[in-house]
Structure 1
């Protein structure tokens, strides 16, 4: 099975909870999952995972959560080419805001710029429609991981 880097950006714990559920599901399916709750670029790169899975909420005016911001900025500044590494992004947000899933959009765009291979269009989970985002995220994640 695959080694997967699970990179989390969470403000109030929703994305963290989804990531923990994803870690459990993927580990149960035989994958080696490395959960990065305070991701550091050097640590994620050193893990040499076959694929990256980013699960993030959005804060403020479409901003990346504080725990994910240093990773994002380091990735943007150092620009390490992913050379086709598979990735997927799950974005949690609230569609009543103009910046709906803005953090996920920024992560997806950057990962594409550094030549990552997007497994599927980003999954957006709307807090206005979904009270338990893990119920939407987990089946989607399971489908994407089958592609690597």
Structure 2
């Protein structure tokens, strides 16, 4: 069974807490998952499967803790060769066009790197769902069938 590496971008901790819950859920479902702290480009290149969970900050920007990974992937451009990938984006729909911008950017980059998006991105709206887990965990159950 392949291992899913979970990369997260979080400003105030909500995306990090969700990443921890998702990792636990995946492992409970018999899937091997691990959180990657302080990720490097090599972590994505070596990952068997990639799951990115990120909040959005500013005007559709990525959080500071995942931005260096994003920029590194952009500059080094390691082709993923059809590696299974998925993204959970967190945001606030009151921001209009930049809603879930961080996750949208990351998904687009993974596709440019020839990652295979195995399930449509999950966008979680903080205006509707204060607690993201009830939205994300059923999606994760579907995801593990695709990984």
1 or 2, which has the higher helix percentage?
A: 2
Aligned partners of 2:41 and 2:72 also within 8 Å? yes
Q: Please say if 1:92 is aligned against 2:90.
A: yes
Task: Return the TM-score normalized by structure 2.
Answer: 0.94
Unaligned stretches of 5+ in structure 2? none
| 2:109 equivalent in structure 1 | 110
What is the number of residues matched between the two proteins? 146
Aligned partners of 2:31 and 2:144 also within 8 Å? no
Query: Which structure 1 residue ranges, 4+ long, deviate > 3 Å from structure 2?
Result: none
Distance (Å, rounded) in 2 between the aligned partners of 1:101 and 1:29: 27
Unaligned stretches of 5+ in structure 1? none
Q: Secondary structure at the match of 1:105?
A: helix
The more displaced of 33-42 and 7-16 is 33-42
Q: How does 1:1-148 map to 2 (within 5 A)?
A: 1-45=1-45, 48-98=46-96, 99-148=98-147
Distance (Å, rounded) in 2 between the aligned partners of 1:110 and 1:73: 10
The more displaced of 9-18 and 28-37 is 28-37
What root-mean-square deviation, in Å, do the aligned CA atoms of Structure 1 and Structure 2 show? Answer: 1.1
Q: Secondary structure at the match of 1:124?
A: strand
The more displaced of 104-113 and 134-143 is 134-143
Task: Return the TM-score normalized by structure 1.
Answer: 0.94
Deviations 1:60-115 (A, max 9, x none): 11110000000000000011110100111000000000310000010000000110
